Chain A
Amino acid sequence: MNQSILQQWIDEILESSGQQWLLRLGVVAASVGAVGAVGIASDHAWPLGLFAVGFLSMAAAMRPDTQLPAAIIAVVVWRWLATVGDVDTPWLPAVGCCLLALHALTALMASVPTGGVFTNATLGVWARRTMLGAATTVGVWFAVVLFDRREAAGNGFLTGTAVAVVAGAAAFIRVRSLDETRQP
């Protein structure tokens, strides 16, 4: 690391607003909370993962406009599938909500340069949106638990319909996400 990069980091730290520090704290808390919830659900402490995710989350908090949050999400999901895998636990929606909070916080922080302060109205809108997403996650978890407890046999038609819906949604998202100037 040369001196200019170090100076850039120092300037960034000094110029950050108090609100940005709070949002960064939220990013770290959400990441560590997700790993902690996985650990509690699996009854296995994972200090190495906690350390790694904590480090990644701090880096993501400083550089939210990167794919570092995606790495955190991948690590947490992999750990859940590897050690828990169970649906019938309230820690599952808790982990999902933590990951949603991580995504929302980094997406919000990425839209403003160092020193920026969001208005309370903007923060309120994002908070309500995130809570709506969290409620949806909890609702899906309830539905999945209900289906899981009924131990219903697999239905090929339903599965195919669901896959078609997902494929349609993916196509819709792709069309809407492409830069219009790149379309033929």
Chain B
Amino acid sequence: MTTPVNRSWGASPAHLRAVVAGVLGVAAALLFRVPSLLVLATPFALVATWSAATRPPAGLTLVGQVGPASVREGEATTWTGHLTDTAGVDHIVVLARQRTWLETRPPSGVVTAGLNKGAEPTTIDVPMRVTHWGRQDVGPITVVGVSDWGAFRWTALDSSYRVTALPLPASFDAAAPMHRADGLVGLNRSAQPGDGSEFAGIRPFQSGDRLRRINWPRSVRSDELHVTSTYADQDTHVALFVDALADFGESGGIDGASSSLDTTVRAAGAIAEHFLLRGDRVSLRILDARFQTSVPPASGRRHLRRILDVLATIETNNSVRGLARQSNAAVPSGAMVIMLSPLISPAALERATTVASHGLSVAVIDTLPDDVQASDDATTELAWRIRLLERHREVRAMQRLGVPVVAWQGAGSLDPFLREIVRRATAPRLTRR
């Protein structure tokens, strides 16, 4: 939304200076017959007259936009301003307000552009790189039009832009075999294309395809990479639980250190991407106790985008009341539950324990950073150490219940858990109904 601060062009201190020095100087030189004063005042009289004569006739028309409005972390978006009615404008100055998670180019956020007289419309770009997932406010952008000699200025504020930065999924892969899900019916293949053994066809290579699926004879004949596509053998429902009750550690954006919530969100994105590209179904539930956000299970690339969109909206919230409401939500039987949590809030641990007690396969991914500094205060530091000891005890208790707790280490983090699920799939299981 563009809001002109000045509807018309306003005089600058430089113009006032030129007018006073020029007019008064020339007048005094003539009246008091001081020829040297005439010479000294001449340039200012010239500048004042020139400035007044070339004053732009009307205010500029600015139309701003930000695009793309949705990017991945670390990618760039651009604010673009289209200016019309630029007659008489000498140059344009754009100032983008500095934001924590937006890197402008140039870093000062100041972009200037000289105008060719008569060339319309004029377009000015301010590239910005989003360095943290989430919804990031852009601007306000201040646009200033300057007339000849800097004598008159027109100012407008362009604001109310927001860019959604999708979390950049961390590197993740699982080498362990997936367990056979309840969704597999006899020997019939799934209707969903995915990572299976039943031949579906040969198609051009797409981003995300595994290299071992490349069909080399066809690729050599067509001079283009082709892969052998298959139908998914399994139809596993992977239920992701994301603990957004609190955030621990310093966040440095995509190029810096990761807080617990950063690791949680990026790991959730990576796991979702991994399983969705395999053809599995993934659901998402945010434990933030405020909006009770959840995404029902589905598969496909569009669903991955939906999950990343929801992850990008996460904000920490630790209202226990809201969490209690959420805890009644049921988890479908046969789902493989993966909870991502820093394991500081007892509520998240209780939730994982409850789900596991219903006979579901549950894995907990510990996303607490190693270098969390609680506070400089000795009492707070002591309380934090006590909480870590309690956390250690709670994690041990959970592991004794058969819920694996693994630290997030990127690729292979879930391999022990997946192998354990395959082993358990053939074993008898005691559940509480």
Residues of A within 8 A of B (CB): 15, 17, 65-67, 69-70, 73, 77, 80-81, 84-87, 92-93, 95-97, 99-100, 103-104, 106-108, 110-119, 121-122, 125, 129, 133-134, 136-137, 140-141, 144, 147-148, 154, 159, 162-163, 166-167, 169-170, 172-174, 176-181
A27 to chain B, nearest CB (A): 13
Within 8 A of A (CB), among B18-42: 18-21, 23, 25-27, 30-31, 33-40, 42
Given contact pairs A77-B25, A169-B45, A110 touches B12 in the complex (Cβ within 8 A): yes
B149: A residues at CB distance < 8 A: 104, 107, 129
Report whether B95 and A113 are in contact in the complex, using a CB–CB cutoff of 8 Å: yes
A137: B residues at CB distance < 8 A: 39, 42-43
Question: Besides A65-B12, A70-B21, 15 other CB < 8 A contacts?
Answer: A65-B13, A80-B40, A85-B34, A99-B44, A104-B149, A113-B95, A114-B108, A119-B112, A159-B30, A169-B49, A173-B51, A177-B15, A177-B19, A177-B55, A179-B8
CA distance A97 to B43 in the complex (A): 8
Report whether A140 and B112 are in contact in the complex, using a CB–CB cutoff of 8 Å: no
Task: Name the residue of chain A whose CB is nearest to the CB of B38.
Answer: A144
Report whether B14 and A116 are in contact in the complex, using a CB–CB cutoff of 8 Å: no
B82 to chain A, nearest CB (A): 19
In the complex, B46 has a CB within 8 A of chain A: yes
CA distance A80 to B52 in the complex (A): 28
B55 to chain A, nearest CB (A): 5
A11 to chain B, nearest CB (A): 11
Given contact pairs A122-B112, A179-B11, A99 touches B43 in the complex (Cβ within 8 A): yes
Report whether A134 and B43 are in contact in the complex, using a CB–CB cutoff of 8 Å: yes
In the complex, B109 has a CB within 8 A of chain A: yes
A156 to chain B, nearest CB (A): 12
CA distance A126 to B168 in the complex (A): 46
Task: Name the residue of chain A whose CB is nearest to the CB of B57.
Answer: A180
A167: B residues at CB distance < 8 A: 27
Within 8 A of A (CB), among B92-122: 93, 95, 106-114
B91: A residues at CB distance < 8 A: 111, 118-119, 122
Name the prevailing secondary structure of the A interface residues. helix
Task: Name the residue of chain B whose CB is nearest to the CB of A163.
Answer: B30
Interface residues on B, range: 35 or more
Report whether B10 and A179 are in contact in the complex, using a CB–CB cutoff of 8 Å: yes
B367 to chain A, nearest CB (A): 35
Report whether B20 and A70 are in contact in the complex, using a CB–CB cutoff of 8 Å: yes
A176: B residues at CB distance < 8 A: 52-53, 55
Report whether B14 and A96 are in contact in the complex, using a CB–CB cutoff of 8 Å: no
Report whether A112 and B40 are in contact in the complex, using a CB–CB cutoff of 8 Å: no
Report which of A116, A125, A159 forms a contact with B114, defined as CB distance below 8 A. Answer: A125
Report whether A100 and B37 are in contact in the complex, using a CB–CB cutoff of 8 Å: no
A68 to chain B, nearest CB (A): 9
In the complex, B47 has a CB within 8 A of chain A: yes
Report whether A77 and B10 are in contact in the complex, using a CB–CB cutoff of 8 Å: no
Given contact pairs A103-B18, A121-B114, A111 touches B150 in the complex (Cβ within 8 A): yes
Report whether B17 and A70 are in contact in the complex, using a CB–CB cutoff of 8 Å: yes
A92: B residues at CB distance < 8 A: 36, 39-40
Report which of A100, A112, A125, A154 forms a contact with B112, defined as CB distance below 8 A. Answer: A112
CA distance A176 to B52 in the complex (A): 5
CA distance A25 to B55 in the complex (A): 29
B180 to chain A, nearest CB (A): 61
CA distance A70 to B47 in the complex (A): 14
A121: B residues at CB distance < 8 A: 114
Report which of B55, B108, B150 forms a contact with A107, defined as CB distance below 8 A. Answer: B150
CA distance A170 to B17 in the complex (A): 13
Given contact pairs A80-B40, A118-B91, A137-B43, A15 touches B23 in the complex (Cβ within 8 A): no
A99 to chain B, nearest CB (A): 7
B170 to chain A, nearest CB (A): 34
**Interface mask (B128-161 → A, CB under 8 Å = 1, otherwise 0):** 0000000000000000101011111100000000
In the complex, B267 has a CB within 8 A of chain A: no
Report whether A166 and B30 are in contact in the complex, using a CB–CB cutoff of 8 Å: yes
CA distance A184 to B269 in the complex (A): 62
Given contact pairs A113-B93, A173-B52, A179-B11, A166 touches B26 in the complex (Cβ within 8 A): yes
A106: B residues at CB distance < 8 A: 14
Task: Name the residue of chain B whose CB is nearest to the CB of A136.
Answer: B46
A19 to chain B, nearest CB (A): 10
Report which of A66, A80, A87, A170 forms a contact with B13, defined as CB distance below 8 A. Answer: A66
